[in-house]
């Protein structure tokens, strides 16, 4: 349990020190806490880290360079960093049942880049080096390097499309993943909006990717990772799973068996915030055969690891190994179901017709709104969400036709079934009373909105009652 008095004293003293140097920064920090305390945070990728995790980020570990790996650094004096990274990796292995864990990635995108290059190195570099009769990349002559570069550049990736719920790093063309690989996407069934595993298998047989990516950032259903592994094995692909969004549900044993990616994937990546409730950062989990390649994340892709962030990851992962966290993770999933049911009974259209993870994805086109208009209207009423594409979205990835909601953050505050049903009511109240704003030409546009008089005040007042009953960091005073 957090010692609230000790945490309050720590933050008060820290802010005094910051204020003595740059008071505007101290003010922004205080304002951020106030804003988070006073709004309904429904962004699926955000959460609230514990005071212990937050305090772990601000220390002198940040002053240490530590390129390399545990016990094999390019700088002297890294014994304490070795301890920190070892503890973080140990907790990650034990928490997820992984053979190997790499705690250095600074973010989810970094974790994915490490995974991509590790798979390339394992699947291509190793055999090519063997054929060239050398043991080290540095021993290759220029002709051999040119051959290897061509092989790297001609590999294929098959991932979930952005509008179906995939992530930018799963082969989206403007992203580096879409430039590194010959890319193709799989979507969802046009009617059910659910994953069609037979269609994924057919695409894999035809395209023959080196990497098959599973996982999502806006798909409100669970995935059968055993089936995805069967597809990967059939075509000789490496199965990589990006579980950044649902890692907390894996850690909390809400997702088990075929829904737990770790026993089935060759490589798994994740962030450590979102549903895992830790600091902003990434992890790579892998089977032993991929461990040597992943361990070369620095200097292959990464620079010096952020040792203070690895320490905070270790603290968060330790918290996630408790029974309390398992209870929390189950509540996240239960609350998402309640939230979805609250929308359905009020006539709101949901992508896939519901949820069985932590995400609820609204299709707001029936309200005559774009996702951008809905997002802005909800923010005006104190409800923080993010617009998101829906399958075959006619408004594209900028304006969108959807709004993505998630339950991790408000569940951390103690919201339960009654509160989440009320949240659905408030969201519907806002959307039902919002109309598109007019462009300079006097016609309805895709960006601006008009929220009816009195709605914002009404929703703010109703939200305030729930937020006051479920305070954020109760007892912590700045």
Task: Tell me the catalytic residues.
Answer: 65, 67, 242, 271, 274, 280
Tokens read off for 447? 């960006």
Tokens read off for 76? 């002297």
Least Cα distance to 424 among 330, 354, 376, 325 occurs for 354
Cβ atoms within 10 A of the Cβ of 459, count? Answer: 23
Beta-strand pair 383-384/386-388: unpaired
Please give the span between the terminal C-alpha atoms of the chain, in angstroms, as a whole number: 20
The label of the residue with tokens 């390019």 reads 74
The label of the residue with tokens 């009195």 reads 454
Least Cα distance to 214 among 270, 261, 172, 164 occurs for 261
Q: How far is CA 169 from CA 44, 115, 121, in A?
A: 18, 11, 19
């Amino acid at each position: 349990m957090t010692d609230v008095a000790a945490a309050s004293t720590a933050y008060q003293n820290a802010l005094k020190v910051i204020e003595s140097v740059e008071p505007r920064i101290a003010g922004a920090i205080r304002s951020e806490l106030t804003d988070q305390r006073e709004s309904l945070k429904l962004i699926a990728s955000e959460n609230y880290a514990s005071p212990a995790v937050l305090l772990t980020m601000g220390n002198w570990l940040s002053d240490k360079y530590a390129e390399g790996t545990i016990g094999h650094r390019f700088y002297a004096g890294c014994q304490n960093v070795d301890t920190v990274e070892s503890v973080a990796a140990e907790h990650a292995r034990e928490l997820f049942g992984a053979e190997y864990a790499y705690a250095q990635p600074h973010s989810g995108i970094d974790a994915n880049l490490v995974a991509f290059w590790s798979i390339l190195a394992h699947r291509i570099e190793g055999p090519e080096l063997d054929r060239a009769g050398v043991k080290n990349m540095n021993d290759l002559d220029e002709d051999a390097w040119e051959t290897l570069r061509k092989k790297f550049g001609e590999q294929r990736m098959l991932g979930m499309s952005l509008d179906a719920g995939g992530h930018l790093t799963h082969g989206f063309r403007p992203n580096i993943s879409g430039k590194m690989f010959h890319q193709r996407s799989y979507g969802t069934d046009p009617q059910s909006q659910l994953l069609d595993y037979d269609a994924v298998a057919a695409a894999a047989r035809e395209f023959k990717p080196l990497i098959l990516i599973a996982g999502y950032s806006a798909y409100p259903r669970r995935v059968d990772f055993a089936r995805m592994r069967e597809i990967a094995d059939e075509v000789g692909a490496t199965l990589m799973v990006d579980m950044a969004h649902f890692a907390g549900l894996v850690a909390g044993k809400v997702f088990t068996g075929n829904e737990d990616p770790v026993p089935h994937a060759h490589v798994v990546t994740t962030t450590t915030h979102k549903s895992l409730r830790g600091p902003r950062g990434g992890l790579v989990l892998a089977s032993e055969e991929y461990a040597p390649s992943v361990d070369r994340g620095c200097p292959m892709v990464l620079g010096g690891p952020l040792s203070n962030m690895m320490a905070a990851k270790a603290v968060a992962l330790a918290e996630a190994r408790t029974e309390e966290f398992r209870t929390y993770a189950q509540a996240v999933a239960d609350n998402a179901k309640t939230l979805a049911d609250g929308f359905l009974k009020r006539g709101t259209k949901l992508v896939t017709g519901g949820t069985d993870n932590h995400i609820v994805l609204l299709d707001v086109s029936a309200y005559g709104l774009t996702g951008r208009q809905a997002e802005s209207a909800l923010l005006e009423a104190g409800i923080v969400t993010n617009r998101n594409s829906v399958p075959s979205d006619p408004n594209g990835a900028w304006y969108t036709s959807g709004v993505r909601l998630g339950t991790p953050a408000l569940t951390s505050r103690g919201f339960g079934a009654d509160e989440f049903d009320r949240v659905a009511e408030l969201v519907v109240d806002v959307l039902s009373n919002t109309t598109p704003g007019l462009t300079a030409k006097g016609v309805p546009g895709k960006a601006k909105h008009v929220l009816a008089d009195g709605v914002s005040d009404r929703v703010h007042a109703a939200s305030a009652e729930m937020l006051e009953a479920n305070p954020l960091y109760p007892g912590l005073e700045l």
